[in-house]
Structure 1
Amino acid sequence: MVLKCVAIDDEPLALELIKNYVSRFPALQLLQTFEDAVSGAEYLRYNAADLLFVDINMPDITGIDLVRALTSKPMVIFTTAYKNFALEGFELEAIDYLLKPIDLKRFGKAIEKATDYYRYKTATTAEGKDESLYVYSEYRMVKINLKDIEYIESMEDYIKIHLQFDKTILTLMPLKKVLEKLPEDKFQRIHRSYIVPVGKIISIQNRKVKLPAVELPISDSYADFARRWMKLR
């Protein structure tokens, strides 16, 4: 697997650093670099790329506006000299943000995320996608092992994914959308506010699902799931 990359940055030294770093990773192939966003955007209109490195702050157009305008979006790693990332980047679901001057070890972690996510997107079998879930949280793509999920809770426009050892991940996504990303035989909705891993259900009694760490209600709309689960026991 080789990811075809494009880098856009108005700072020549920053581009040279990315060139140097990319050359150290056999999984990356650098197609082109651009010092102005307009030329980079024009290239991406007619040439497919798997991964885009793009500076957020450029004089002619911001990296965020550039990515937003692309019809066919590659995976994106934003680079920036500022610690406070633009909130507008949230909707673009960037793989990662790299703070300048970019450290090689930190660069490597971002590439690992990109390659993992690429494999996830291009998996051809259900088995390949059953192992993990990717969501956008804290301005970057986060990989979640499905076996670590205790339950998923709706919080209006957000969902909170409760993991083992009291860890949680908050992401902007409706419960219906995350359910579509999960294997149907392993996760079921039991309430307008909850999704549970079927394999972790200890018991169902009095319209409540008992899980290792919590007990959750079953609403009338999903009562059929309780009946089906009881028949399988």
Structure 2
Amino acid sequence: MINCVIVDDEPLAREGLANYVREVDFLNLSGVCENPLELLPLIDKQVADLVFLDIQMPKMNGIEFLKILQKPPMVIITTAYPSYALEGFQLNVLDYLLKPVTFERFFKAAAKAKDYQKLLTGDSSKQAEDYFFIKCGSKYEKILFDDILYIEGMQNYVSIYTTRGKYITMLSLKSLEEKLPKASFIRAHKSFLAAISKIDGIEGGELFISNSRIPISRNYRDQVITKVVSKRLWDKK
């Protein structure tokens, strides 16, 4: 988990970044400041691993503040002024975000901070992620593997049914199947993938998941029975 602090004199900018931070599971918002001087106590308390720092602020601008810090935390500049980019990178900032900042660009910068933190802590092990993001219209939605019930494929898009609702995105069922954990999902039909742990029962040519019935095609029936039922079947033997 990365503890991050937002430093910006504009209330709307602070709130926008704070909302972005809340959407990223490896970020924790540990502070919000209106100017760099308010940040100093948080650095002393070691609750600022990463700072989203504006440049043009009263009392002291972000660049001036960085110059006086002997051991600065990771810093991502957030500003409406592109002219400070070179000076910012000379001060070893991780990234330089121009306002208005999109979530896609924000997430890319946050991921860079995550990778850099692993280098600093010596943690280079590749941990399996338990979620992914998809684009639904103009919004990026976070999908947890454990929340998925089943997925239905159409021509050029898929519908992902989860415990939280239904999400539609422009992906093929095949490409999604290749990215999902193979031990946790099974193809039951040319148009359906099912989460194995969410299957409540099988009868005839159907899977029962929550309140839904998923068809099992003849080509996939033996595979479904073997993978879902056989190893956990209690009978008279």
Residue 21 of structure 1: how far off its partner (Å): 7.4
Look up the SS of the partner of 1:224 in the other structure: helix
| Pair 1:53–1:125, CA change in 2 (3 A) | same
Which residue identity is paired with 2:187?
A: R
Kept in 1, the 8 Å contact 2:157–2:170? The answer is: yes
| Pair 1:206–1:182, CA change in 2 (3 A) | same
Look up the SS of the partner of 1:142 in the other structure: strand
Kept in 1, the 8 Å contact 2:205–2:217? The answer is: yes
Q: Provide Cα deviations, 1:147-174, integer angstroms capped at 9, x if missing partner.
A: 2222111122111111225x11111111
Residue 48 of structure 1: how far off its partner (Å): 10
Paired with 2:35 and 2:217, the residues of 1 have a C-alpha distance of 52
Kept in 2, the 8 Å contact 1:94–1:139? The answer is: no
* TM-score, normalisation: structure 2: 0.52
Paired with 1:196 and 1:52, the residues of 2 have a C-alpha distance of 41
Kept in 2, the 8 Å contact 1:162–1:168? The answer is: yes
Length, aligned pairs only: 164
Which residue identity is paired with 2:141?
A: V
% identical equivalent positions: 21
For residue 227 of structure 1, the aligned residue among 221, 225, 228 is: 225
Kept in 1, the 8 Å contact 2:80–2:98? The answer is: no
Kept in 2, the 8 Å contact 1:154–1:193? The answer is: yes
Which residue identity is paired with 2:50?
A: A
Gaps of 5+ in 1: 4-12, 57-76, 79-92, 97-109
Kept in 2, the 8 Å contact 1:95–1:140? The answer is: no
Paired with 1:22 and 1:149, the residues of 2 have a C-alpha distance of 43
For residue 27 of structure 1, the aligned residue among 37, 50, 53 is: 50
Paired with 1:189 and 1:171, the residues of 2 have a C-alpha distance of 19
Paired with 2:75 and 2:127, the residues of 1 have a C-alpha distance of 29
Paired with 1:227 and 1:193, the residues of 2 have a C-alpha distance of 18
Kept in 2, the 8 Å contact 1:95–1:141? The answer is: no
| Pair 1:180–1:27, CA change in 2 (3 A) | farther
Q: What is the Cα-based RMSD across aligned positions, in Å?
A: 4.4
Paired with 1:164 and 1:181, the residues of 2 have a C-alpha distance of 20
1:138 counterpart = 2:137: yes
Find the counterpart in structure 2 of residue 173 from structure 1.
171
Look up the SS of the partner of 1:219 in the other structure: coil
1:197 counterpart = 2:195: yes
Find the counterpart in structure 2 of residue 160 from structure 1.
159
Q: Provide Cα deviations, 1:46-79, integer angstroms capped at 9, x if missing partner.
A: x995x563457xxxxxxxxxxxxxxxxxxxx42x
1:94 counterpart = 2:96: no
| Pair 1:138–1:145, CA change in 2 (3 A) | same
For residue 126 of structure 2, the aligned residue among 118, 124, 127 is: 124
Which residue identity is paired with 2:126?
A: T
Paired with 2:186 and 2:155, the residues of 1 have a C-alpha distance of 19
Max Rg structure: 2
Residue 221 of structure 1: how far off its partner (Å): 3.3
Find the counterpart in structure 2 of residue 59 from structure 1.
none
Kept in 1, the 8 Å contact 2:150–2:162? The answer is: yes
Find the counterpart in structure 1 of residue 27 from structure 2.
none
